Amino acid sequence: MKQPIISVLLIFSTITLFAQEFEVREFKAVPNDMAARRYEKRTVNDEPSALIKITTNIKGMQFESNVGIVEVEHKGDGYWLYVVPRERRIRLMSIGFISLEVDMPEPAQPLMVYHLVVAPKGVYHTSDLVRVTFRMNQSNVYVQSGESAPVLSSSNNAVFNVPKGERTFRFIKDGFFEEEKTINAEKEEVIEITLKQGDSSTKLALSGHIIVTSEPSGAEIYLNEQRVGSTNYQNRHLAGKYTLRLQHPNYYEHVEQFELKEGTTVEIPKVNLKPRFGYWQVNSTPSGADVLLNGRSIGLTPIKKQVIQSGFHEVTLRKTNYHEHKESLKISDGDDKNLNIALNEAFGDLQITSEPSDARVFIDNKEVGKTPYRNPQMPSGTYSIRITKELYADANEVITIVDGKKTEIYIALTKNYGTLKINSQGSQISINGKTFATNNYSANLAPGEYRVKATKEKHRDEEKTVFIMLGQTEDITLTPKPRQGAVSITTTPFETRGAEIFIDGIKQKHTAPATIPLLIGSYNITIKKTGYIDVSQNVNISEGKEESLSLKMITYAGSQLQQAKKHRISKALYGTAAIAAAGTGAYYRYSVISLSNDYATATGNAADIYSKIDNHDLYSWVAFGAAIPLGVMSLVKSYQYKSKVEQNMRVDICRSDKYFYGAATIVSLGIGGYYRYSMHNLTNDYNNATTDATSIYGKIEQHEFISNAAFSVAVPFAVMTIVNSVQQNSSLKKIRAGAMPTKNGVVFGLSYQF
């Protein structure tokens, strides 16, 4: 075995002058990585090996170690190298590279995972790069990163993917001072660059052309870490050394280096990017499970066929009431994986019944319903069950729900009550301040102390404290005590003794005089006796007090005479008022005539006289207008007076009214005759007058008015005299007479009731 190894070493030594170098970017232990345990490999001595995860874009790598290599697996982004425990050093080899021995961070430990990042020197893996964008105040600026050839940025923005750490950039443009910027690239950032006009000290090389194509096309092109476009691509660039990087989603990155000579064209052979993906689809039973790929939700099953990047993935399926399903999925380039996953039930069927039913169900102190209760998809686990129902003792159980199993629970609740029966006729019954019923009440109550009360109108409440014992019956009667006083009833005159007593319309067994006990409150007391008018009076009865009522009763005849007396007084008042109003009207009417004569002969005070005439005219009509209803009311009261009195009294009244109306007729005729005679004399004076004829004429008009008024009044008075004379003789009892003054006299009438 040693001879071939020596020959290989000689071959490598002959090309080292032209070979690239390895560069180790990271080598460390990762204690939290479980891959060595999950994908365990064992040595020939049956020891668990250590795992070195190598991340690199170098193809065709080979490895050697001092103690021994157990197995090498090719991965999408590098290699998995299983080594024997206690290994301290490994050797990295690849065609076109100088081999490199790398010390382990520690002697390899069984089942420990180590992470090694290796790349060609000066070439970086995408995961090690940081995006830096320069925003410049000029376009068409050459930007140089390190010692590589400057690359033209045709826009104001230059985008670089650079390795982490310190790096210097130069910005070159003809007619502007050269600008240099050193940055420490740790995270993605945007940096402002301002170029100032001036002479540039840098002489740029002549250009050549670069042509890049790929399959598939559309890969992003980075020249010397600066993004310049995408394939297929051709453009003019300055002569110099270039590192080309092609990136395309789901394809392996392609990196190579070349040199462009002045005036030449470099056409990179078409790069066939190696697919870094496969296909997969996911189905589950039942469907509708949430699918997480590497911790990110991508939808619900079924997941249709789609592209998935090569490598190891963590697949998780979650669905309510089903156990979470996890598995590691390895996708190799070109794979077509179809996952069919049967989710395991994480629930059972829970059924709870009780006697009696309709009990409240609590699971882990949360109310979920009433018995009978069922949850056909109760999540598996252990639960605390509590069943409660009023007047029954709580029942508690601990249950365990098993996947796919039915759990049935039957609970017979224990009675926790006694019975209370209350009788209180006509009363409202309340317990602990809450009203429940009237007259009678029966209920099952939890053991304990209760305050019961009976309430009845106009009675004192009766309350009791009752202790309810488990399984026993308490039967009580409550009798509210009446709150009462009394009323003492007497009647006058003496002859009314024995009168019937009615209280609020209800006949009592007692007769007057009597003392009657009553509940507190207001009552209407009515006394009735044949031949007497009923008498009523309200009385308010207070507790412990006796009210005294003395009721005077009158016969029907006595009642009529009392009412007749009222009508007679009213007749006199209305009659007197009517005469006074008529007299007032006559006075002002006479004044109007006198003032009219004065106005006819007036010279300087005619306006004042005319104003008085208007006022007196108004007063006269107001007085006459008042006299009319007053006169009518006098006649009405006269009729009512007569209708209330007995027959013999009515004859006396008619005689009295006959004399009154007869005297009034004679007086009215006398006044009318006097003023008629005076008017005759004044007419003679007027015919013989020479100077005062106007004054005499005015007096004639006044006397004429007065005489006409007196004669007009005399007519109804004469009629009333005749009517009362006839009524006195009882031959025309139903004759009714009436009179009404008007503007031109008095209108009177007679009526006969058939």
- Residues 405-453 have pLDDT tens digits of 999 999 999 988 889 999 999 899 999 999 989 999 998 998 889 999 9
The residues pairing with 62 across neighbouring beta strands, listed in sequence order, are 93
Looking at per-residue pLDDT, the higher value among 636 and 5 belongs to: 636
Checking 101-108 for CB contacts under 8 A at 24+ apart, the result is 102/24, 102/27, 104/27, 105/27, 105/28, 105/29, 106/29, 108/50, 108/67, 108/83, 108/84
**Structural domain count, the chain:** 7
Residue 530: which domain range? 483-554
In a shared domain, residues 69 and 174:
no
β-pairing, 373-379 with 381-389?
A: unpaired
Domain boundary among 554, 584, 614: 554
| DSSP secondary structure letter of residue 415 | B
Rounded CA-CA distance 357/461 in Å is: 39
Q: What is the pLDDT of residues 119-149, one digit of tens each?
A: 877 666 566 688 899 999 999 999 988 788 9
What CATH number has the domain bearing residue 476?
A: 2.60.40.1120
* 581 and 712 fall within a common domain: yes
| Residues 703, 585 share a domain | yes
CA distance 27 to 5: 27
CB within 8 Å of 23: residues ≥ 6 apart? 118, 119, 120, 121, 122
DSSP H or E run through 140: none
Instruction: For residue 692, report the phi and psi dihedrals to the nearest 5 degrees.
Output: -105, 30
- Same domain? For 309 and 182 the reply is no
Helix H or strand E segment including 718: helix 693-728
E strand or H helix at 110, and its extent? none
Q: Residues near 181 by Cβ (< 8 Å), separated by ≥ 6?
A: 134, 168, 169, 171, 191, 193
Residues 544 and 563 in one domain: no
Last residue of a domain, one of 380, 412, 444: 412
Residue type, 742: T
- AA letter at 654: C
**pLDDT greater than 60 at residue 709:** yes
Q: Quick one: 155 and 267 in the same domain?
A: yes
Do the bridges between strand 535-541 and strand 521-528 make them parallel or antiparallel, or are there none, so unpaired? Answer: antiparallel
Q: What are phi and psi of 557, to 5 degrees?
A: -65, -45
The helix or strand, by DSSP H or E, that contains position 631, with its residue range, turns out to be helix 606-644
CATH number at residue 498: 2.60.40.10
Q: How far apart are CA 244 and CA 334, in angstroms?
A: 26
Do 536 and 597 share a domain, yes or no?
no
Which pLDDT does position 129 carry in this prediction? Answer: 81
Give yes or no for a contact between 217 and 232, defined as CB atoms under 8 angstroms apart.
Answer: yes
Radius of gyration of the chain (CA): 66
C-beta of residue 311 within 8 angstroms of C-beta of residue 297:
no
Which of the listed residues 368, 393, 412 is the one where a domain comes to its end? 412
Measured from the Cβ of residue 568, the count of other Cβ atoms closer than 10 Å reads 19
**Same domain for 638 and 742?**
yes
User: Exposed (0-12), middle (13-18) or buried (19+): which is 610, by Cβ within 10 Å?
Assistant: middle
Q: What is the dihedral of CA 30, 36, 41, 42, to 10 degrees?
A: 70
Note the Cα 626 to chain centre separation in Å: 70
Task: Judge if 472 and 441 occupy the same domain.
Answer: yes
Answer whether 49's CB lies under 8 Å from 33's CB: no
State how far the Cα of 621 lies from the Cα of 117, in Å rounded to an integer.
Answer: 132
* Burial of 414 per CB tally in 10 Å (0-12, 13-18, 19+): exposed
pLDDT tens by residue, 277-318:
999 999 999 999 999 999 999 999 999 999 998 888 899 999
504 secondary structure, DSSP code: T
- Looking at the structure, tell me whether residues 569 and 708 fall in a common domain: yes
Residues in the chain: 754
Per-residue pLDDT, 110: 93
Identify whether the C-beta of residue 130 lies closer than 8 Å to the C-beta of residue 183: no
Tens of pLDDT along 678-708?
777 878 877 887 777 777 777 787 778 877 8
pLDDT at 731: 40
Q: Are residue 372 and residue 474 in the same domain, yes or no?
A: no
Please check whether residues 86 and 97 belong to one and the same domain: yes
Q: Token pair for residue 218?
A: 């559309």
Task: Check whether 16 has a pLDDT greater than 50.
Answer: no
Contacts for 414 with CB less than 8 Å, ≥ 6 apart = 392, 393, 395
Query: Using CA atoms, how far apart are residues 479 and 456, in angstroms rounded to an integer?
Result: 9
Per-residue pLDDT tens for 515-557? 999 999 999 999 998 888 889 999 999 999 999 999 988 876 6
Phi, psi of 711 (to 5 degrees): -65, -40
